[in-house]
């Protein structure tokens, strides 16, 4: 997976309407254009996190930089995302606790074979954890770039809540597992954590 800077995508956008075709030409990935599907995925994540807003449909669709109009709206938006991801993670973890996730792990830990009974729930867990980590990354970036003391205070509370929740999920999933399985799981989880202000694509 590749890390994409939230700040860079926002800098590629003008203050008014930004059409996909225009962004595809101005937003470069290591001096090369993104594949359009990947750019769409990035923009979708940016919208989910509240940094931009999409208007219109299909060829007429465009994006604008989106700023929340009030503290309550901003924190409510963050809390809604947290609740959504927590629900998905809890649903997946419930089906994975006390179950064997991998049928076989190679001696050098470089490859593993899934149990067919847990593969779907495990993939759902990883997807939801990635979303939660990206939300945490976005929160920290917003906090660093905001001058609103009250907003920064509330975002700190949100980040603390996410951190405590993810630590508990990590404990529940690793508890009672063999060393090899714990190492593979921790490595995969760590690989989903983006740098502050970045997305994982």
Of 11, 33, 65, which closes a domain?
Answer: 65
CA distance 50 to 135: 10
The total of other beta-carbon atoms located within 10 Å of residue 199's CB is: 24
Of 48, 65, 82, which closes a domain?
Answer: 65
Q: Which two tokens stand for residue 195?
A: 């740098």
- Say which DSSP state 34 is in: P
Same structural domain, 183 and 106: yes
Scored b (16 or more CB within 10 A) or e, 60-74 reads eebbeebeeeeeeeb
> What is the pLDDT confidence band of residue 97, given thresholds at 50, 70 and 90?
confident
Nearest to 131 by CA among 95, 166, 167, 182: 166
CATH number of the domain that 37 lies in? 1.10.10
pTM listed for this prediction? 0.89
Over residues 74-91, the pLDDT tens digits come to: 899 999 999 999 999 999
Over residues 145-188, the pLDDT tens digits come to: 988 999 999 999 999 999 999 999 999 888 888 888 888 888 88
Same structural domain, 146 and 50: no
- Of residues 98 and 19, which shows the higher confidence score? 19
Same structural domain, 104 and 174: yes
Same structural domain, 96 and 52: no
- Of residues 134 and 67, which shows the higher confidence score? 134
Same structural domain, 95 and 145: yes
Same structural domain, 61 and 132: no
Sequence-separated (6 or more) residues with CB below 8 Å from residue 95: 118, 121
Instruction: Give the domain extent around 131.
Output: 71-200
Measured in degrees and rounded to the nearest 5, phi and psi for residue 96 equal -110, -25
What pLDDT is stored for residue 67 in this prediction? 66
Same structural domain, 45 and 113: no
What pLDDT is stored for residue 130 in this prediction? 94
Averaged pLDDT score across all residues of the chain: 89
Residue 196 has pLDDT above 90, yes or no: yes
Give the residue-averaged pLDDT of 38-67. 88
**How many domains would you assign to the chain?**
2
Residue 30 has pLDDT above 80, yes or no: no
Give the residue-averaged pLDDT of 188-199. 90
Same structural domain, 58 and 38: yes
Of 44, 65, 86, which closes a domain?
Answer: 65
């Amino acid at each position: 997976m590749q890390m994409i800077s939230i700040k860079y995508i926002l800098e590629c956008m003008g203050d008014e309407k930004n059409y996909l075709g225009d962004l595809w030409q101005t937003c470069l990935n290591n001096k090369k254009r993104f594949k359009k599907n990947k750019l769409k995925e990035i923009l979708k994540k940016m919208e989910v996190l509240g940094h931009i807003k999409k208007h219109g449909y299909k060829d007429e669709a465009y994006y604008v930089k989106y700023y929340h109009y009030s503290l309550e709206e901003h924190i409510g938006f963050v809390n809604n995302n947290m609740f959504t991801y927590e629900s998905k993670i809890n649903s997946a973890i419930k089906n994975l606790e006390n179950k064997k996730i991998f049928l076989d792990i190679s001696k050098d830990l470089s490859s593993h074979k899934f149990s067919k009974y847990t593969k779907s729930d495990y993939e759902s867990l990883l997807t939801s954890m990635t979303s939660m980590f990206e939300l945490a990354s976005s929160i920290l970036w917003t906090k660093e770039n905001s001058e609103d003391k009250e907003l920064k205070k509330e975002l700190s509370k949100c980040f603390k809540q996410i951190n405590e929740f993810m630590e508990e999920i990590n404990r529940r999933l690793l508890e009672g597992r063999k060393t090899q399985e714990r190492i593979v799981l921790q490595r995969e989880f760590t690989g989903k954590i983006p740098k502050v202000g970045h997305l994982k694509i």
